[in-house]
Every structure is written in structure tokens, then in C-alpha cells.
A and B are shown apart, each in its own frame.
Chain A
């Protein structure tokens, strides 16, 4: 791949670009090697989100924001988003198109790869070589890395969450904004969200960007065994994440699951309580900066791979920690 611009599909939330999208922008800037980075946002943008977004894109050194608007883009549809992203590939003649490795990012990149007639590399963590382009990406749930060659005229890939930090560019930019109407067919809008049911809040996004995560596994004992763990989470202003055993047994909802088939987290501290540290769980929490394990078994993989550990029954230890925090706060 010769050096040329890179396009990035950016996902937004109430605070502008999501953390993982900013990570993808940093990855794109490094891949572009001095060539322009083009951001793509699809669908309506609230004024305050746009106000937050532009400085974030500027901090990442983005040259241009391509904002796709059209009737029918109000609701998410992967095919329509891909149509918009592929339009930008042509408009900006980029040599690589990428997104964060989120459910939407992977889905839209798969559609884009089909439209461009090229391969797609999911969950890339690093570019090992640029010409030819060779990437390392997560396979086997993040426990193995694959070196993969991308030889097509346009490289399509997603960037695994928390594979890198969203570092600011050496010289920030003031991105130019161009609105455009992507070429959409009726078929692009068939598989779109017809409604969103806002039930119990979905913590998976919060988990992905939380600074503190308290983990709970089978050691919690039962659905009633979470009171002290929830208190600890609240005292630390964190988010609760659980193992698959906990969701399979119906003790907590699936969106709280951390691991290969749950969320990937990268907090400053992760406090797994009563979690053995199976490879599939580890795949979701290995990016935590510090791990403090609480477990009855000093030989549990979670303990031996942690930075710190307390050995014993979480039902005695967690309340004692909560009491100590409250005591020090006075």
C-alpha cells in the first residue's frame, strides 16, 4: 500500500466521538503516515454533539469531516452506513477505510468490503508493515494474534477496542466539514432499526470506557449475592462487569458480561471478585492497567495474573472494604 489518505467511520454518543472511535482515528493517523485522515459520520448530528466532535477530530489531526445526511439515515442501517463510507472512499480517494471494532463498526466494514470487492480484517491491533500492508489482528477471542496481509487496492479493517490509546496529533487541525448525500438504494434501507426499546440501561458502552470496573463471578454465590459488590461499585463511581457464568445463570443481565463474548474493558483498575480468570474472560479484561483480584483460591489464574490480590471470601472482604472506604470519608 502506498501512502495515501485513510477514511475512518466515526461513531458518536452524547459526548461526541466515542472513545473507541478516537482510538481508531489515532490508528488511522499512524497508518496514513502524514497523508490526510478523513472522518465519516452518518446520519443526523445534534448541534451540541457536533460542537464536541469537531475539536476531538481536530485533536486527532483529521483533515476533513464528511457528514452523510439523507432521508432514511435517521435510523441505523449497516448497508446505508456502508454506502456512505464507500462514497467517501471515492470522494477522498483513500487507500484504507476503517472503523472501531464495535458491533456496528464490524458490521459496516463487512458491508463496505463487499461493496468494494475486497477483504476485511476484523479487530486489528497493529500495522506491522505498510508496503505490503500487514496487520496483526485478534483471533480466537483475543487470545491469539494473526498476521494478515491486505493486498487489495483499498484496505478495509476494524481496530480492536483498547489496542491503543487515543493520542493527540503533534499538530492539531481545524477539520473542514462537508455535508454530502450518499447514493442509497431502497435495498440499503430494508434492514434498518425500526424502533429502539429503552429498557434497563445497557452498560456495555459504559463498561468499555469506565475507569473503575468491579467484576463479579460465580463466587458471588447467587442473584442475591451482589449487594456489597454493587455498593463497592457505587463507592468507587465505577461500573459492574460480570463473568459468563453469572449471566448464564441469570444472576445479572448479559450486557454486563466482560470477555470474549461480552465487553472488552480497559479501566485504570479492575477488581474481579470470585472470578477464576478463564481465557475467555481474560480476553476482555487484559487491557486493565491494574488488576486487584479477590478470590478464595490463591492458584486461580485471575490471582496469578493480577497485580494485586486478596485471598479469602468476597462476602467477608468486600463489606470490609466498603466499611473502610466509608470510614475514611467520614
Chain B
């Protein structure tokens, strides 16, 4: 039986045009809505799979404003059993602060009898992209950690994690409890069912306050790279353009021999 905790972050939807807030500290999400990253959607899926396969539980957690309940309910709708909101204004939080807040809740739950054998996170947050909360959390908890993992299962009391390495698929075997940061590509997140949505709507959300003041981040400001005006040269339409294409390839020297 493995109890799994999966940590997700409410982030602005950024598939369209990106605007920044006036204080240049974040993406202006007023007109685009909110989501969780693709890596974390895969982590949610892995959490429910591991809990299901081992007869354990899956708990979803976020550090954020009360609005982030929307993302917690999204995870409950696709199979997580319970949800925790660490309610905080995260504008001043750096990755070490997020890790500390999560670590405190993991320790508190453990003191109450729930040990998380596996803590899953995304490899990197879709907005701030710090690539480190998982490693920092593992250090605080004194647990082993691997990042960049696309598939993960618990068998015979061992966490087997796989990720793409420079020479092929790398396999790690970790003794629980451990921390794993997930990258998309190994599993497909599922869509919520109607009963899943209904259940999620009514589910209670454990809400706690962080125990310490944030140390902060080094952010000075965000800026958008300058937009290049379109200067595309259309070489032609349809197959008749092939000679012009090959002329270009020759000119660029990529058509040797």
C-alpha cells in the first residue's frame, strides 16, 4: 500500500498571447484563465495509478490562494482521494519557501499517522520554471529524489522510476519514502467523468496556513522579448515551389553532395 502526495501549481493559461501584469512580476491572467502544467497533469495521473495499484491513497496539494481550489477539484475529479490547500499569497514565495511549506504539511500529516511513501511533483513549474522545488523538498525531508521521470510504479515495496537519459531510458529504484519529479510523456492524463466532477464538487478541502515567513525570491522583473515584425518571403504555392525550395537549400549549404 502506498500513500501518494502530488503537488500542483495553479498557473496562467499561456497558449495564446501573453501579457504581463503592471508590476511586471507575473503573467496577467485576467483574460486567459488558469490551469496546471502538463508535467503536473501526468504526476496526478501517476499518483492515482500508484494509489490504485497498491490499494493506497492519493492526496493532491497546492500552495496558493483560495482560487487554487479550482485546480485541486480538477485533480479530485480525475481520481485523487483528498486535497490540501496551503493558503498563502505566494507572490513573495521563492522555490525554497514552497518546498518548506509543503515539507511542513508532510511532517504534520506524518505526526498524525499518514506517511506519504511517494511525493510527486512536476519537473518544473509552467510559469516560474525554477526546476528545484522537488529537490529542495527531498532535502528538507531527508528523502531520496529523482527528477525528469516519465513513468513510476511501486512494486515489492520499491519505487521504480523511469526517465529519458542521454543514452536511453534510465531506471531508478528508490526505497520509500521518496520524492519524484515528473516530466510529461510517459502517461496520458485522463479526462474527468461526470460522476468524478460531481464528487469533486462536494469533496472537503483541508485548508492550512503556512508556518513560517517566506525568505523570498530574487525576481526583479519579467519582460517580454521584442516581437519581430513579419518579414516572411513566400517561395510559392503547392508542389510548383519545389525548385525554389531546393535553390534555397543549396544557397544555405545544407544540400551538400
Chain A interfacial positions (CB closer than 8 Å to B): 11, 13, 76, 78-79, 103-104, 106-107, 110-111, 113-114, 119-123, 134, 138-141, 143-151, 158, 187, 190-199, 202, 204-205, 211-212, 236, 238, 247-248, 254-255, 257, 261, 268-269, 278-280, 290, 292-293, 298, 303-313, 316-317, 319-321, 323-325, 328-329
CB neighbours (8 Å) of A119 from chain B are 94, 96, 217-218
Judged by a CB distance under 8 angstroms, whether B175 is at the interface is yes
CB neighbours (8 Å) of B231 from chain A are 307
Identify which of B72-80, B102-110, B111-119, B177-185 touches chain A.
Answer: B177-185
CB neighbours (8 Å) of B170 from chain A are 76, 193, 195-196
A198 — nearest CB in chain B belongs to which residue? B168
Q: Which B residues, 215 to 251, have Cβ-Cβ distances below 8 Å to chain A?
A: 217-225, 228, 230-246, 248-250
A306 — nearest CB in chain B belongs to which residue? B232
Bound-state CA distance A195–B168 (Å) is 10
Bound-state CA distance A134–B218 (Å) is 9
Q: Which of B14, B129, B173 has the most CB of A within 10 A?
A: B129
Contact B218–A151 (Cβ < 8 Å) = yes
A-B contact pairs, 21 of them (CB 8 A): A13-B166, A78-B147, A103-B123, A110-B136, A111-B135, A122-B131, A143-B225, A146-B220, A191-B144, A193-B170, A195-B170, A196-B167, A198-B168, A254-B164, A254-B185, A279-B18, A308-B233, A309-B232, A310-B238, A317-B239, A319-B239
Judged by a CB distance under 8 angstroms, whether B66 is at the interface is no
Bound-state CA distance A182–B201 (Å) is 53
Grouping DSSP codes into helix (H, G, I), strand (E, B) and loop, the B interface class, with mixed when no group exceeds half, is: mixed
Given contacts A190-B144, A236-B254, A310-B236, contact A143 B185 (CB under 8 A): no
- How near does chain A come to B24, taking the closest CB pair, in angstroms? 9
Given contacts A305-B228, A309-B234, A325-B246, contact A320 B239 (CB under 8 A): yes
CB neighbours (8 Å) of A145 from chain B are 222-225
Bound-state CA distance A280–B11 (Å) is 15
Q: Which of B148, B163, B239 has the most CB of A within 10 A?
A: B239
